[in-house]
Structure 1
């Protein structure tokens, strides 16, 4: 497996691209910036299956020239957004371990930040392999075990309120994200290999300092506040400040200058291929 490292210029270019979509949600623009930078190494074409498609807007940003796209998602409200997006030729409301898609019908499968949330991972990978043509590509981003071990909010809660509250904060974080597969890079590689794929490349994303800010911002955003989340109040405050998006870019730039180990991240992008 070839390891490919990003650089600061690519990440900042990624931020410039995605910040137009998420200008006032800093954790989302931060994470998506790294994914965008990694995905720029690759091209997908032909018939594409977008697994965990969401509303389709990030797919269109990444792959504006891909037109034969089938979207799959398990969330009915999200599926309605996907159907209205104009991105997909077909949209299925289905679980990834039971895909209503014909054998060898996809040239590529794209799974952006979705596999870590999926129950029955081995069945999901088997379904992806079934749907791909021989030699077809799976391109995906996932979280790693560092997504939990580097989580800042539980650390702060531990210092303020003790171990029990810290565990509660971490459990709530895991439950909110339905994080069932926070695997190491090596474990992800083994799962792909055991499912009949050849792992070609791995791109680490969000090393230590970038992960620290992302995980703190994401954890704080989803803290319950009344009938909503703290993020609702933060969004109103950030969107009222016309300089916010550019200023947050400077924060990301500063974090990039601090990184000393780009080989370990709380996320990873994998390019794998179905064996013939």
Structure 2
């Protein structure tokens, strides 16, 4: 049951979104009910250890060995994750043209699996692997099979899941790890096709996201602390344009001072209700 204040906020959000479709920006909070950990707590503070930085990944073979050893164990759980009711609600809203589109910071492809289309992946996707030597991309599953065949000693090793397909693996397991080579050029510098910490969002992707929010009637942020500048800047543009900027998020966001309204409720609780209220068949 929703308390009175949240019900009133939901009614206001529904009224605004019924007038013209908003763009939606999602973060890790929408995928945590699907079993994928997030990076930050409700105060926007990063959990656990520092994630691997882009320059660290590029600079040394041992860094790439450490990354891929942990990622090999983390990928199956990401691959097996299923969309939850919040993803499905947004797919329904998009199919009925109640939202103008989706931008996501997540790299799990759960929006696509739920039926959303033309999703702008601000930070890329773990489903692809990019070779930094030849520029070719490979399916992650094919690289996963290669790593598992080359590193049978890790079969059955259990590791605690971390955000973005990472795991908390004992360093003792990393030294023997055979890093995958590119199937196209045999290069050793393979990376997941995602934006690492310290790496810039691709210019084409950033421009596409910016154009989408500039053209939208408003922006609804779902499950994001907005601590990443690539997402926060989109909110700032919407606020500067004087358009509605709303959020459904448990806890602090970087844009709290810009928001017209923040509904502090779980995504999986609120979004199905929003989709129900905005449905063309609703009274």
Scaled by the length of structure 1, the TM-score of the pair is 0.34
Larger proportion of helix: 1
The structure whose Rg is larger is: 2
Larger RCO: 1 or 2 (CA < 8 Å, sep 6+): 2
Greater strand fraction, Structure 1 or Structure 2: 1
Q: TM-score, normalised by structure 2?
A: 0.33
